[in-house]
Amino acid sequence: MRNYKIAFCLPVLLLVLPRASYGQSLGDVARQQRQKQQARDPKATPKVVTNDEIPESPDASSSSSDDTGAGPESSAPAASSTGKKTADQWKTEIEARKARIAALQNHVDKLNDSVHLVEANRYYNGVQYNQYQLKKQQEAQRLQKQLDSEKKALGDAQESARKAGFGSAVYDPN
């Protein structure tokens, strides 16, 4: 009878003892590790870079970072202050502006297409997701304003070239 009790109690003890030693949940362990890491280096939060933040070409990065307040008008008068521009100078400037406009338009379109708001109560992180989407929307609006000012500057440059007596091959190169 005694062997029967030992044979019954031994497997039960083997099942109960490991569970008692692993009383901490995985979430508690992860939280403790995160707290330790933040205590060591509180300012070292990793920067997450998404595809939306990476420019596709060098022109796109220079045009999207050109929002210092100087505006696109500051680049046009630089050559005209030295005298009259030649047809090649006008054509080069206008083509460069058209390329910047195309890159900006492409970036704005992709950004607008990537915005997808969700019902906040339907997902556990719906509020944070929507906040990120709203930031993307605001960035698209900022870029749209920059695009509009770039289009206006292009129109001004084309009008100046036309008034300087150059033909449509100069002020409207395709």
pLDDT at 43: 61
pLDDT tens-place string over residues 2-33? 666 677 776 776 766 655 555 667 778 888 88
Q: What is the mean pLDDT of the chain?
A: 74
Domain ranges of the chain: 85-174
pLDDT tens-place string over residues 58-98? 554 444 444 444 444 444 444 444 458 888 888 888 888 89
pLDDT at 8: 72
Rounded Cα distance between 3 and 103, Å, is 83
Mean pLDDT (whole number) for 99-111:
91
pLDDT at 60: 43
Lowest mean pLDDT among 51-55, 59-63, 121-125: 59-63
